[in-house]
């Protein structure tokens, strides 16, 4: 039983070293592609274009937007951003939609826009009606 435990521990350590080695190879391959003009993304989410690479101090100068520069550690650059090819979209002509009025007359189905079935009431009648409705709710 203890032999099985040591074998499993050995496999675990082997897999861990293998994964670290693969990660280091990927990082070395990525850093070999660094050069001025390459669009990149940092580990903290900044996108920019490489302006200069300082090999001695492991620094990369990024242009985040025209005139805005940022200096980051070389290992902070984690991804090279490839330009996305955009396919042209063909737009089929749509039938003309009916014009939408800018008032609520379209909601009633009648011209004039009044929803009341009775003739227009005066302002005094409206106040009386609203006051009476308020008393009914209480």
pTM: 0.46
In a domain, 62, yes or no: yes
In a domain, 133, yes or no: no
In a domain, 88, yes or no: no
- pLDDT tens digits, one per residue of 52-107: 988 899 899 999 999 899 999 988 888 888 876 667 777 777 777 666 666 766 66
In a domain, 65, yes or no: yes
3-class DSSP assignment, residue 59: strand
Reported in sequence order, the residue ranges of the chain that DSSP labels E, i.e. its strands, are 39-42, 47-54, 59-65, 68-73, 77-80
In a domain, 73, yes or no: yes
Q: How many domains does the chain have?
A: 1
In a domain, 63, yes or no: yes
Burial of residue 60 (CB within 10 Å: 0-12, 13-18, 19+) is buried
**Average confidence score pLDDT of the chain:** 81
In a domain, 53, yes or no: yes
Average the pLDDT over each of 13-17, 80-84, 96-100, 125-129 and give the range with the smallest value.
Answer: 96-100
In a domain, 91, yes or no: no
Domain residues for the domain of 72 are 47-81
């Amino acid at each position: 039983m203890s032999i099985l435990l040591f074998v499993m521990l050995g496999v675990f350590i082997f897999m861990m070293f293998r994964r670290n080695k693969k990660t280091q190879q990927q990082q070395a391959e990525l850093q070999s592609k660094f050069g001025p003009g390459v669009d990149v993304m940092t580990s903290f989410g900044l996108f920019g274009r490489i302006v200069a690479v300082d090999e001695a101090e492991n620094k990369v100068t990024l242009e985040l937007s025209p005139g805005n520069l940022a200096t980051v550690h070389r290992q902070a650059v984690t991804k090279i951003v490839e330009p996305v090819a955009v396919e042209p979209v063909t737009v089929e002509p749509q039938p003309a939609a009916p014009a939408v009025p800018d008032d609520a007359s379209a909601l009633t189905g009648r011209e004039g826009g009044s929803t009341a079935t009775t003739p227009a009431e005066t302002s005094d009648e409206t106040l009386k009606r609203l006051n009476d409705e308020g008393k009914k709710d209480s």
